[in-house]
Chains A and B, each alone.
Chain A
Amino acid sequence: EIVLTQSPGTLSLSPGERATLSCRASQNVRFTYLAWYQQKPGQPPRLLIYGASTRATGIPDRFSGSGSGTDFTLTISRLQPEDFAVYYCQQYSDSQYTFGQGTKVEIK
């Protein structure tokens, strides 16, 4: 089973700043099968990025994904008030899904 490790656990930033979230896999992940989700309290996760770098429908272009192999990054170019949330990476391989433990982006 591929284990995903996200860092940092918590990111304290101000609106307008840039956020860089990391997701590291224990084995190579096919880029097609790496996704990022945003979750706010009391809500289901929301798909942001799939295929490592493709924005899902309706996702603003301040969200971008990059990376390959075992290292992936989610970047939020200029944080908006609605972006403070928890972010999860997820991979799918050998018919198994795994999630990272999440990164909380909080207001500094």
Chain B
Amino acid sequence: QVQLVQSGVEVKKPGASVKVSCKASGYNFASYGFSWVRQAPGEGLEWLGWISAYMGNTNYAQNFQDRLILTTDTSTTTAYMELKSLRSDDTAVYYCARFGTGYSDYWGQGTLVTVSS
């Protein structure tokens, strides 16, 4: 069965970077992409960007173009999201999701990233 397992809780100081991993299994990794979405406490869903798993093509939301890096490693079937220059308002649960044709059908469990001095 399709599974996406994300790395654990992160606590970072303002200005630092965070890198979250998303290990995929149960399907042909190269045939899909990944979208990354975050959710601040008590808030709605915010799309960060997506990446094609095989070619590595990326597309970032305008608000994150200068500090977000998405990558994949086909040898370990893992996707990564790195967010730089963290601020307190980056505190959120970050989700990876398998990206199909315009929608995300399987989601990771989420990774809480807390940014605090």
Number of interface residues of B (CB under 8 A): 22
Contacts of B97 in A (CB 8 A): 44-45
Cβ-based interface call for B11 (8 A): no
Instruction: Say whether, besides A97-B61, A99-B44, A99-B45, A44 and B102 are in contact (CB < 8 Å).
Output: no
A19 to B47, CA, bound (A): 26
- Who on chain B is nearest to A57 by CB? B105
Tell me if A's interface is mostly helix, strand, loop or mixed. Answer: strand
Cβ-based interface call for A98 (8 A): yes
- Residue contact B102 to A99, C-beta cutoff 8 Å: no
Cβ-based interface call for B35 (8 A): yes
Contacts of B59 in A (CB 8 A): 95-96
A57 to B27, CA, bound (A): 15
